[in-house]
Amino acid sequence: MFGLIICFFLSLIAGLLLLTVLLLAVVFLVPGENQTLLDAASALATWLLSALFMAVQAVLTAVSYYYLRVAKEGVGIEDIAAVFD
């Protein structure tokens, strides 16, 4: 479970780094001259950040469910997979 928390914070740091790059692009590009480039960079950064957080959230949900099920019922991964045999 601790590894999941570490992965979440690493993805958060990566997202903040991406946001920082976007903000630096906003500062160094004059909005009047390169508005199309600025809009494209903003859309790309928003899409990448959203995709990153949605992927991390999906993995955290699945792994948390597994650990909660093991803790509650004592059912391991082999027992869950045996249902499909």
Q: What is the pLDDT of residue 38?
A: 72
CB-based contacts of 45, cutoff 8 Å, min separation 6: 18, 19, 21, 22
Closest CA to 53 of 25, 22, 18, 20: 18
Q: What is the pLDDT of residue 55?
A: 84
Q: Which of 28-32, 56-60, 69-73, 81-85 has the lowest average pLDDT?
A: 28-32
Tally the domains of the chain.
1
Give pLDDT tens digits for 1-45. 667 777 777 877 887 787 777 777 776 766 666 677 777 777 887
Token output for 60? 């955290």
Domain extent, residue 26, equals 2-82
Closest CA to 5 of 49, 72, 56, 70: 56
